[in-house]
Amino acid sequence: MPAFEMKLALFDLDQTLLDGDTETLWFQYLVKEGHLEVDHLKEHKNFSLDYEQGVLDFSEYVNFILHPLKEFDLETVQSWRELFLQEEIQPRLRFQHLLAEHSEQKHTLVLITATHDFLADPIGRMLKMDLTLSSKPEIVDGRYTGKVTQSCFREGKVEMLEENLNL
């Protein structure tokens, strides 16, 4: 019996398929719309600098980045997300011709990103990905806690890919 062969086309999101950083754009949008204070942008910039220097505490960052999901009811934040995706993400998506080429070749399109699934999953659908692998925030009693149950950051990307593809 011949072995099953799957051809993967793996893509990162931020600064790759998206001209920008998803979570930075999300915070900028929330501040612009008056849902968050401008101080959140300053704190986010500090986390970005930590990332660039290779010293980011991902757990601390996730707790910060999930603030809007912890503080507001899910229905409200989902409505903000829909507008955000239309206004800020859709115009910044790029390289769709590459995705189409891989799709025509019957490659399995995989988006793999540290961005949390609240934002990454709908972007994956917009890009017509076969699979979206992203950080999974913890939800207890229908509320986000600020922690992740599964990280898709650094070595977590490889672990999540192997787990989802049963490697």
Q: What is the pLDDT of residues 81-134, one digit of tens each?
A: 999 999 999 999 999 999 999 999 999 999 999 999 999 999 999 999 999 999
Question: What's residue 32's pLDDT?
Answer: 97
Query: Looking at 14, 21, 121, 130, which residue is catalytic?
Result: 14
- Secondary structure (3-state) at 15: coil
Residue 167, pLDDT > 70, answer no
- The backbone torsions φ and ψ at residue 141, rounded to the nearest 5 degrees and listed phi first, read 55, 40
Question: What's residue 3's pLDDT?
Answer: 54
Can you name the CATH fold of 8-164? Rossmann fold (3.40.50)
Q: What is the pLDDT of residues 29-69, one digit of tens each?
A: 999 999 999 999 999 999 999 999 999 999 899 999 998 88
Q: Catalytic annotation on 14? A: yes
Provide the token pair at 162.
């192997």
Q: Catalytic annotation on 39? A: no
Question: What's residue 1's pLDDT?
Answer: 42
Q: Give the whole-angstrom CA distance, residue 37 versus residue 39.
A: 5
Domain extents in the chain: 8-164
**129 exposed, middle or buried (CB, 10 Å; 0-12, 13-18, 19+)?**
buried
DSSP 83-121: HHIIIIIGGGB--HHHHHHHHHTTPEEEEEEEEEHHHHH
Residue 156, pLDDT > 90, answer no
The residue-averaged pLDDT of 142-163 equals 90
Q: Give the whole-angstrom CA distance, residue 167 versus residue 164.
A: 8
**Predicted structure pTM score:** 0.91
